Chain A
Amino acid sequence: MSKVIAELVIRGSQDIFKQASDFLDKAIKEKGPAQKIGFPETAFYLPAANALLGAKVETLKDVLPILEHAKSLLPDIPSEKVWLPYLGDALNAGMSTLFCEEIIVALRYLYGQEPQKDCNGFFTDNILRSLGIQLVDGRMSGFAAILGAAPDNKTAVEIIRQLQERNILIFVGSQSEGRSIIDQLLEENIQMGWDNYIVPYGRDTISAVYALNWAIRAALTFGGVKPGEAQKCLMYMKERVLAFALALGKVDEIKCATAAAAINMGFPVIADTDIPEIKASGITTYEALVKELNYKNIVPRCIEVRGIKVKVSSVPIPVAYAAAFEGERVRREQLYVEFGGKASAAFEYLTTLESNAVEDGKFELIGPDIDQLEKGKRSMPLAIIAEVAGRKMQKDFEPILERQIHRFVNYAMGIMHVGQRDMNWIRISNDTFNKGFRLKHLGVILHAMLHQEYSAIVDKVQVKLYTRQEDVDKMVATAQKAYGERDERLSGMNDESVDTFYSCLLCQSFAPNHVCIVTPERLGLCGAYSWLDAKASYEITPTGPNQPIIKGGITDDRLGQWKNINEFIYNKSNKTVEKVSMYSLMDAPQSSCGCFECIAAVIPEANGVMIVHRDHSGMTPSGMTFTTLAGSVGGGVQTPGFLGIGKLYIVSRKFISAEGGLKRVVWMPKELKDILADKLKKRAEELGESGLIDKIADETIATTAEELVSFLAKVNHPALTMEPLI
């Protein structure tokens, strides 16, 4: 911290403190001390105050001690001569600013001043959970918070694109001399939103606290850090949340104070102006504050200073290619051509051939390309057939590789891919077509990416595309036959028929004590890893996160416990979890990293279990929303009665079979029921309870335990007569 910067930080922190203090006085005067205050959809109150102080702020009155604490952190401004050490002081000022800025934006919510126009406002807990898996598998390599504005729109877009190409989630906002990068991007028609890795937080520096108090929740959600464990929380962020701040334009006092908050979290700051640098490391992993005046170098400098490892896919196509473009939509007005969906017949199919039948890199287009599109038409039929060969390739891996087509195609900028198999839907934008993208580039993408990610099992890849209706019709039959066979084979696979389960330790990069065990009948709680996926992943990277565990002798077949599995878990959970029941919710249930799709939780009054999925934001009969429930699961801790699960586990034969399985389920959100409708029905029939699904309440029937119990009694739900759960 150079003295100049320390001075700016401390002045800024004093200013922010005053703003918070005045705003709170006004609010208390106008609304009274008992007025509720908080952010939408979070279990963590005011998250920074909760994480670092253990405070549960619910009313304006509760804010007072936080503000008092923030005041106690405010240091004196360093003297002109013979100054006293200021680094610790400036860091304290940063923490004061963090608390105060959080208070200010919470008060703005109270007054309806947030979210700001075109901005996201407060980032919810769920976004963090749903991004969890992308964070660990490298699709999201880090986070950038941009404050200010680039000197011109073109530079702004270039910086954003460079960050996107490196798969960095970008929070944009604040301003410099009245200009915000948000408006620069809006003017350039850049798509923003979580799916595009560009999230506008607000047009002032104070609202950048959304990015900070979002990051802070990672420690609580995944790291097993308890509220109030401040130093642990901050160290978690330094070591595991690869974020940095990029200050564009003039760096004022408020930006400095906010930057000091970020530095406390180990997030370095990179500026495009000539400021004094802080090269000392220790609070941050490398330099704390650096300048880079050349815009060409600014993004690489950011990456270097934060120590981010970027996996860049180099795919020779005319548009940018990166995971950051996966979620980008191609809207009707931008559309050049589309395939599948409601527009035309289309499917994608990946199959294994003998090695000599595959010529690596070969691409065939049978039928017209997209530049020969008939005038006035905006769709074409399309069959994508990828043929692979490899010594270690197995039939079982085909569906796994085929499923990647979705991701691989989506990574291209200006191309949208939805669905899979014969229910796919692909759109190509005008821009992308104009830049020279043709169908052969789909072949280039699949060839490059299958090699890049699956080179351990795939030796050769060739791609054929058919764009004539008659060809597509003819080919689809073969594909459909294969789809059917695959489903058949999968449904025949069960925990008893294999001798090996797989671990998944992918999330240990942020949840160091959590171990997932993936079995044929229980997929990973994130929903992303089935037993076959784990198996393939092991073949691809034998030293990777998915390790085979010979399950060995079973020690409890009701609970689903194996000696070898327990030993593995004990060792890999850093000796924090001694045993895990694969089939029980109540007795040594599996821990969670935090990115579960659903939570199953006991409703004691109903002698049953409710399940809520991430997308359901309403109240549940447990008295808690998903967000609040999620607070008690996660971080690699076992919590009997609560379980994080993948959606498909609900319809597994092994779903909490120790407690009676699906028959225990008394409540699910309607949306989840709809998603799983056919499978639930089938499973209920297997259990001899064909009417079961209708006996499971949803939010339209009950949102309290009382309402639930009276409904269950009315429909005579089987759980009521089952063995007591507790």
Chain B
Amino acid sequence: MDNLKQQDKRQTIDLATQEMLQKAKKENIKTAWDRLQAQEPQCGFGQLGLCCTVCNMGPCRIDPFGEEAQVGVCGANADTIAARNLARKVAVGSSAHSDHGRDVAHTLSLTSESHAHAPGGHAHQHYTILDAEKLKSVAREFTIDTNKTKEQIAKELSKKLLEEFGRQEGELVFTKRAPKKRQDIWKKLNITPRGIDREVVELLHTTTMGVDNDYKNIINNSMRCALSDGWGGSMVATEVQDIILGSPQPIRGKVNLGVLKENYVNIVVHGHEPILSEMAVRASKDPELLKLAKSLGAEGINLAGICCTANEVLMRHGIPVAGNFLQQELAIITGAVEVMLVDVQCIMPSLQEIASCFHSKLITTNSKARFPGVIHVEFNPENAYEVAKQIIRVGVENFANRNKERVNIPKQEMDLVAGFTKENTFHILGGKYRATYRPLNDAIISGRIRGLAGVVGCNNPKQTHDYFHTALVKELIKNDVLVLQTGCSAIACAKQGLLIPEAAKIYAGKGLQEICEAVGIPPVLHLGSCVDNSRILTAASHIIEEGGLGKDLSDLPAAGCAPEWMSEKAIAIGFYFVASGVYTIFGASPFSTLGSKNLTDYLTNGLEESVGGRFEFCDDPLKMAELMIRHIDKKRKALNLSPLIYQ
């Protein structure tokens, strides 16, 4: 038993997760941690990026010790092979965010034509324009005359947004949101993204056999592709979701597996796109379903989220978060989940097998993401409410099949405050009449806040689950760094109580504490899902615009990181942050580039000269915090800011 505990500690710091891992072990259910163990030792060539499967002359691999083959059959060396492998990941990561953006833009188009609902349904059963003000302000960026009906504006805007994906020449409209100096840097390097799809396709093209052999050029093109995600696809997703689902406002929520309720029908939404889960939220209140649930002995219907879908419904509705990426299997292992409804991205292929150990039903909804043998209910915006209702009905009916003896819901749940956006920051800091970023800029300039850190990304069983995120964030806020979070990283910190305003007094440095106290915010701000990293970019641009902290994003006393990353999407995000001038550190294990010294050196040093940002890799949270703080201090010094007030 003692031995088991120790092992769990290494796996995760989260008590709920520990408890469920014990249950899994007892019931002989394999989880990601077990599968990682089975994979070890992992492929060294893969880790170093030296394995090439691009063409059928291979697979080739480069000997990292310099003794055997140094080039592949085609003649590609370590630099080219590692850069191409990395570029492909950037393209895939970008495509994931951007394809999500496209679907959302498409929903806007349907909304504007009133197709996005079944005829005759109630208003809440279809999509409408919930943030007309934001619709107008985004439309103005696309030079659309906003003196029209919401529907007309939405129609024109969705057309223009969809055109951004197919655009061949010119510049993505949202890139104009970046400070002028940043735009000039992109132009000079010829990495201003032209069209969202084009950049992905072109990058993939350059990595095929016998095209681009210059690792620096490959990286530059990768940056352009990633920018088409951050300032393109992801930004479209965020902006349009706000328009049709409503812009988030500060909101309370609860997090961790303890949010699953014993006497309720538990429906878990998991994945990334909020379009369907929004309808699930609405359908979970359907009187007919509630009646059915009661008739089957449940007290009601409890909706909870995993991963970024969770963040989306949390930000807009305060729906509880059951957990982050590595907790998706564990949610089912509680034995209390009637239905796990999934769409796209980060959905472990293992889920079906685990669900089959319980009464839980996994239901896929997106034709892009199917499992063999899993119930599939195809979702589209036209029938969204009906689909959502149908799925929840499956869940309600499944409540009767729950084996109460196998139910074990951990007690852990924690409060949190989420719902911060680049727009509502103006009001949070200045109210309606003095809407402004000034207090934030002033706080940095005067040395109450040292700087800003974006801490984002996934979980990875290679790291002690949640430990890196939370240890790092605690260290940052202790040193008066205001932390902005998205994705699974935010969920990790939320579970440890860092996202409640009370956390400032316990964990934050005195200067940051004063600001948190003045504004009423937690020291760690939750900005949403991983496409919402685009909110961080625009918020940073607003800070530059407000003045006093330089002319470019790279001037800001700020740093970014993805401590427990695992997804290709994280690499794409890292690339668009670096290409936007941000010093960005990756934890877990480094990119698979260590087999090429030149490439690794370019990523971690050379890039700074051209784009102002660079990558860094670090596997210790306190060391990472120190690196970020050192960078922030360097930028403070360059801006000639006063020393911290309390140092």
Could you list which residues of chain A lie within 8 angstroms of chain B, going by C-beta atoms?
1-3, 6, 52, 73, 78, 81-92, 94-95, 230-231, 234, 264, 276, 278-283, 288
State whether B439 touches A283 (Cβ < 8 A): yes
Nearest-neighbor residue (CB-CB) of A95 within chain B: B433
Contact A231 B428 (CB under 8 A): no
Q: Which of B435, B439, B519, B520 has the most CB of A within 10 A?
A: B520
26 residue pairs A–B, Cβ–Cβ below 8 Å: A3-B517, A3-B520, A52-B433, A81-B500, A82-B252, A82-B416, A82-B417, A82-B501, A83-B501, A83-B520, A87-B429, A88-B427, A88-B431, A88-B432, A91-B432, A92-B431, A94-B431, A95-B432, A95-B433, A231-B434, A276-B517, A280-B443, A281-B443, A281-B446, A283-B430, A283-B439
Beyond the given A81-B500, A82-B502, could you list 20 further A-B residue pairs with CB under 8 A, ordered by the A residue number? Answer: A2-B518, A73-B432, A81-B415, A82-B416, A82-B417, A84-B251, A84-B252, A85-B250, A85-B520, A91-B433, A92-B431, A92-B433, A94-B431, A234-B434, A279-B514, A280-B442, A282-B439, A282-B442, A283-B429, A283-B430
Closest to A90 in B: B431
Partner of A87, one of B416, B431, B432, B514: B431
Q: Is B440 an interface residue (CB 8 A)?
A: yes
Q: How many Å from the CB of A487 to the closest CB on chain B?
A: 53
A280 B433 Cβ-Cβ under 8 A: no
Q: Which of A1, A89, A90, A283 has the most CB of B within 10 A?
A: A283
Q: Mark B398-434, 1 if CB is under 8 A from A, else 0.
A: 0000000000000000011100000000011111111
Find out whether the CB atom of B432 lies under 8 angstroms from the CB atom of A92: yes
**Bound-state Cα–Cα, A264 to B434, Å:** 7
Bound Cα distance from A523 to B357, whole angstroms: 95
User: In the complex, are the beta carbons of A280 and B448 less than 8 A apart?
Assistant: yes
For the complex formed, measure the closest distance between the CB of B532 and the CB atoms of chain A, giving whole angstroms: 18
B517–A282 CB distance below 8 A: no
**Is A6's CB under 8 angstroms from B430's CB?**
no
- What residue of chain B has the Cβ atom nearest to residue A89's Cβ? B431
CA distance A234 to B430 in the complex (A): 12
Answer yes or no: B436 CB below 8 A from chain A CBs: yes
Q: Is the CB of A280 within 8 A of B430?
A: no
A-B interface, 4 closest residue pairs, ranked by CB to CB distance from nearest? A282-B439, A91-B431, A280-B518, A282-B438
Instruction: Give the nearest-CB partner of A281 in chain B.
Output: B442
B562 CB within 8 Å of chain A: no
Q: Which residues of B contact A84 (CB under 8 A)?
A: 250-252, 417, 520
Compute how far the CA of A83 lies from the CA of B504 in the bound complex, rounded to whole angstroms. Answer: 12
In the bound complex, do residue B520 and residue A282 qualify as a contact, i.e. CB atoms below 8 Å apart?
no
**Which residues of the partner chain B approach A85 to less than 8 Å between Cβ atoms?**
250, 428, 519-521
Complex CA–CA separation, A95 to B427 (angstroms):
13
Report if B441 contacts A (CB, 8 A): yes
In the docked arrangement, what's the CA distance between A88 and B430, Å? Answer: 5
Question: Given the complex of chains A and B, what is the CA–CA distance between A415 and B432 in angstroms?
Answer: 49
Give Cα distance in the complex from A83 to B440, angstroms: 20
Chain A residues with CB under 8 A of B440? 282
Nearest Cβ on chain B to A230's Cβ, whole angstroms: 6
Residues of chain B within 8 A (CB-CB) of A283 are 429-430, 434, 436, 438-439
Which chain B residues numbered 469 to 526 have a C-beta less than 8 Å away from chain A? Answer: 500-502, 514-515, 517-521
CB neighbours (8 Å) of B502 from chain A are 81-82
Interchain CB contact under 8 A, B520 and A280 = no
CB distance from B251 to the nearest CB of A (A): 7
Nearest CB on A from B336, distance (A): 25
* Residues of the B chain whose Cβ atoms lie less than 8 Å from the Cβ of A87: 428-431, 439, 518-520
Which residues of A are found within 8 Å of B501, using beta-carbon distances? 82-83
Q: A231-B433, A282-B429, A283-B438 are known contacts. Are A82 and B514 too (CB-CB below 8 A)?
A: no
Find out whether the CB atom of A264 lies under 8 angstroms from the CB atom of B518.
Answer: no
Residues of chain A lying within 8 A (CB to CB) of residue B448 = 279-280
A519 CB to closest chain B CB (Å) equals 39
CB contacts under 8 Å to A, within B532-546, are none
Task: Knowing A1-B520, A83-B520, A84-B252 are in contact, say whether A280-B431 is a contact too (CB < 8 A).
Answer: no
- Report B-chain residues with C-beta under 8 Å of the C-beta of A276: 517
Contact of B518 among A1, A92, A94 (CB under 8 A): A1
Beta-carbon nearest neighbor of A238 in chain B: B434
Nearest A residue to B518 via CB reads A280
- CB-CB under 8 A from B415, the residues of chain A are 81-82
- Tell me the complex Cα distance, A219–B469, Å: 49
Question: Cα distance A294–B436 when bound, in Å?
Answer: 34
Q: Which residue of chain B has its CB nearest to the CB of A1?
A: B518
Residue of B nearest to A84 (CB): B250
CA distance A314 to B438 in the complex (A): 38
A281 to B517 CA separation, bound complex (whole angstroms) = 13
Residue of A whose beta carbon sits closest to that of B441: A282
Measured between beta carbons, the chain B residues less than 8 angstroms from A90 are 431
Q: Which residues of B contact A230 (CB under 8 A)?
A: 433
Binary flags per residue of B320-331, CB closer than 8 Å to A gives 1, else 0 = 000000000000
| Contact among B434, B443, B446, B521 with A91 in the assembled complex (CB-CB below 8 Å) | B434
Closest approach, in angstroms, between the C-beta of B85 and any C-beta of chain A?
44
Check A91/B518 contact, CB under 8 A, given A280-B439, A280-B443, A280-B448: no
Bound: A201/B243 CA distance, A: 48
Closest to B436 in A: A282
Q: Which residues of B contact A234 (CB under 8 A)?
A: 433-434
**How far apart are A8's CB and chain B's nearest CB, in angstroms?**
14
A52 — which chain B residues lie within 8 A by C-beta? 433
Residues in B neighbouring A94, C-beta threshold 8 A: 431
Distance, CA A94 to CA B517, complexed state (A)? 18
Q: How far is the CA of A264 from the CA of B435 in the complex (A)?
A: 10
**Chain B residues with Cβ under 8 A from A73's Cβ?**
432
**What residues on B are CB-neighbors of A279 within 8 Å?**
448, 514, 518
Chain A residues near B433 (CB-CB < 8 A): 52, 91-92, 95, 230-231, 234, 264
Cβ of A73 to closest chain B Cβ, rounded Å: 7
Report the bound CA distance from A288 to B438 in whole Å.
13
Of all chain A residues, the one with the shortest Cβ separation from B521 is: A85
The CA of A92 and the CA of B252, in the complex, are separated in Å by: 21
Q: Give the complex CA separation of A87 and B416 in angstroms.
A: 18
Write the nearest CB–CB distance from A6 to chain B, whole angstroms.
7
Residues of B within 8 A of A81 (CB): 415, 500, 502
Q: If the complex has contacts A83-B520, A281-B446, A282-B439, are A88 and B428 also in contact, measured as CB distance less than 8 A?
A: yes
A82 to B522 Cα, complex, angstroms: 9
Q: Are B432 and A86 in contact (CB under 8 A)?
A: no
CA distance A231 to B443 in the complex (A): 21
A382 to chain B, nearest CB (A): 55
- Bound state CA distance, A574 and B150, in angstroms? 39
Q: Which residue in chain A gives the minimum CB-CB distance to B449? A: A280
Most chain A CB neighbours (cut-off 10 Å) among B252, B514, B518 = B518
User: In this complex, what residue of A is CB-closest to B254?
Assistant: A82
Residues from chain A with Cβ under 8 Å of B520 in the complex? 1, 3, 6, 78, 83-87
> Please, how many angstroms separate the alpha-carbon atoms of A280 and B252 in the complex?
24
Q: Is the CB of B517 within 8 A of A2?
A: yes
- Complex CA gap A279/B415 in Å reads 27
Tell me the smallest distance from the CB of B522 to a CB of chain A, in Å: 9
CA gap between A91 and B434 in the complex, in Å:
8
Q: Max chain B CB contacts within 10 Å: which of A81, A264, A282, A288?
A: A282
- Cα A73 to Cα B431 in complex, Å, equals 9
**B518 and A278: CB pair below 8 A?**
yes
Closest to A52 in B: B433
Chain A residue with Cβ nearest B427? A88
The distance from the CB of B484 to the nearest CB of chain A, in whole angstroms, is 14
Once bound together, how far apart are the Cα atoms of A83 and B428, in whole Å? 13
Known A-B contacts A52-B433, A92-B431; A281 and B514 likewise in contact (beta carbons under 8 Å): no
Given contacts A82-B501, A87-B431, A91-B433, contact A280 B250 (CB under 8 A): no
Residues in A neighbouring B521, C-beta threshold 8 A: 85
A680 CA / B439 CA spacing, docked (Å): 57
A92 to chain B minimum Cβ distance, whole angstroms, is 4
> Given A1-B520, A234-B433, A281–B417 Cβ distance below 8 Å?
no
Q: Which residues of A contact B439 (CB under 8 A)?
A: 87, 280-283
Residues of A within 8 A of B432 (CB): 73, 88, 91-92, 95
